[in-house]
Amino acid sequence: MAPRLFGNAMIAGQMPTIDHYKTAFDTHLDAVAAQRQYDNRLTIVSYAGSTNPQWAAEAEAFIAWRDSALIHMFQQLAAAEAGEIAPPTIEEFIGGITPIAWPAL
């Protein structure tokens, strides 16, 4: 199956670029935020410190998860650039991100 990206077209068989990985990463973050009905990754983080305990907990969980996902992203890209691993496909790249652990509703 060919990689699908929003706003950054990729031709089947083409090696992903940094822009492809970034677009896929941002799209994934937005999709995870949408799991809890937030518009996107920027909206959910704006609820950090909210007076609503549920929203604040969701923002905290998302921020911690996002930071972990960023570390994964940078490690994968550095390893590929150093020749330690083959450049991952977009699916492998996103699939390697640990799922978020949302707080209980």
Reported as a single tens digit per residue, the pLDDT across 53-104 is 999 999 999 999 999 999 999 999 999 999 999 999 999 999 999 999 999 9
Q: Read off the pTM.
A: 0.84
Q: What CA–CA distances, in Å, run from 81 to 39, 63, 68, 73, 74?
A: 33, 27, 20, 12, 10
Of 2-6, 14-18, 90-94, the least confident: 2-6
DSSP codes, 20-83: HHHHHHHHHHHHHHHTTT-SSHHHHHTTTT-SSHHHHHHHHHHHHHHHHHHHHHHHHHHHHHTT
Predicted local distance difference test score (pLDDT) of residue 6: 44
